[in-house]
Amino acid sequence: MKAMMKPSLLALTLLSISCQENNTDSSIKVTSVKHTSVKRQSIGNCWLYAQATWLESLLKDTTGEDVDVSETYWTYWDLYHKLLEKEPVPEEELNTGGNWSMSSNIIKRYGWVTEAEFIESDAAETMSEAQACAEDYILKNGKENGSLYDVSLRSEAYVRAELDKAFSCDGKYQVDMEAALAKSRKADETMLVDVKTSEEYSLTEMLSRWSQVSGPGNRGVYEGKKLLSEVELDRYRNLELRIKKALNDHYPVVMSFYVTFNAPDQNGVFNLNTLAEKGELGSGGGHMVVFHDYTVDNVPSEDGFVSLGEGDMEPELKEKALLGDMNYLVAKNSWGANRWDRPWLRDGFSRFTWDYLQNRYWDEESEVYRSFLRSVVLPAGY
């Protein structure tokens, strides 16, 4: 799944507009998931950054330490397998997209390493130069007379040699995949502690215990309709509750969705009001993030109904939060932080209203209404 795509020919259809204000300054808290530092992707591989964020969160729960899992290492293997398919390299935009299933399979097959163990000089706090170099190299050499143009040459050894050159950035970085493989932690041997039960599972077992759930608006006979059916609304309420329960227990829930950059307001909250004011989707594409927190409105209390804001809280208040209406979800993103071109990113965490996620847009190419929310990945029991 790609983080950003070229501007899409999509006509916006808003089904309901949320008029409630976003309460970002509440001193009453809900929950918070442990996360490592925010990173910034340089190519369309948000799905690998989300997978790394998920694993880093589990490692932090297990060891108490921040680990910089290498997305570059996994990107190498993703491009390796795509090049072995021996399809012509596109003229303009390289296929760097993927999904949770693809990233899980890469982990199971090749394990994981830290970024410093693979590209020692490629700083984690900035965009990965090595990944950008690799994309440019493949696009350049996929053209006629380029080293990757003749698909018949693409043996395993040949592709590996080409990728070593691609990720080296003209010799700036030393790429030694054999050394990285020797250092890699196997999924079967990486032990992780379940944050709720304190039980220990291997990374392979943990991956099998987490499952991807399709968004209610992307399934069965209901897909493609402009209005949400009562069945879909019930499914969204159920999914909302499942997400809140998992976050209450500090699990790093993963979400894939369609993001449009006409939706965030000046505070960085993706919402329908801002999108409606723009009148069109604007640039966007498939994206994947990992949740950190959520806020709720209409929570029953002795004084009527209250809103609960960002941060952690006591268990009894978390239970009350389950009775409220989801306002917005806070997610660790892979777009970096404190960017001049996206000042609303602030700390690198993005906020998405539930109304926005469960709403629909018109996809002109497919001629069907699609939900912004595509799927979530939840742990066992949720």
Print the domain residue range for 161: 10-378
pLDDT at 220 over 90: no
Hey, which residues does 335 pair with through a beta bridge?
Answer: 40
Residue range 156-165: mean pLDDT, rounded: 98
Helices and strands (DSSP H and E) totals, the chain = 12, 14
* pLDDT tens per residue, range 41-52: 999 999 999 999
**What share of the chain has pLDDT > 90, as a percent?**
68
**How many other C-beta atoms are found inside a 10 Å radius of the C-beta of residue 136?**
14
pLDDT band at 122 (very low <50, low <70, confident <90, very high): low
In a domain, 1, yes or no: no
Cβ count near 181 (within 10 Å)? 14
How does pLDDT run across 166-175, given as a tens digit for each residue? 999 999 999 9
Tell me what pLDDT residue 218 has: 66
- As a whole number, the mean pLDDT across the chain is 87
Distance CA 378, CA 252 (A): 8
CATH number reported for the structural domain that contains residue 366 in this entry: 3.90.70
Q: Is residue 4 part of a domain?
A: no
The domain total for the chain is 1
Residue 366: pLDDT band with limits 50, 70, 90: confident
Q: Does residue 320 belong to any structural domain of this protein?
A: yes
| Any domain includes 40 | yes
| pLDDT digit string, tens, across residues 94-105 | 999 999 999 999
Domain annotation covers residue 365? yes
The confidence band for 123, taking pLDDT boundaries of 50, 70 and 90, is low
| pLDDT of 376 above 90 | yes
pLDDT band at 23 (very low <50, low <70, confident <90, very high): very low
pLDDT tens for residues 124-145? 556 889 999 999 999 999 999 9
pLDDT(21) > 60? no
pLDDT of residue 262: 94
Q: For residues 184 and 311, what is the distance between their CA atoms, to the nearest angstrom?
A: 35
Residue 2 lies in a domain: no
pLDDT at residue 16 is higher than 80:
no
Residue 3 belongs to some domain of the structure: no
Question: Cα 212 to the chain's mean position, in Å?
Answer: 13
What pLDDT is recorded for position 300?
86
Please tell me the distance from the alpha carbon of residue 98 to that of residue 307, in angstroms, as a whole number: 37
Q: Are strands 349-353 and 191-193 parallel, antiparallel or unpaired?
A: unpaired
Least confident of 155-159, 185-189, 366-370: 366-370
Does 262 reside within a domain? yes
- DSSP letters for 218-236: GSGGGTB-SSPPHHHHHHH
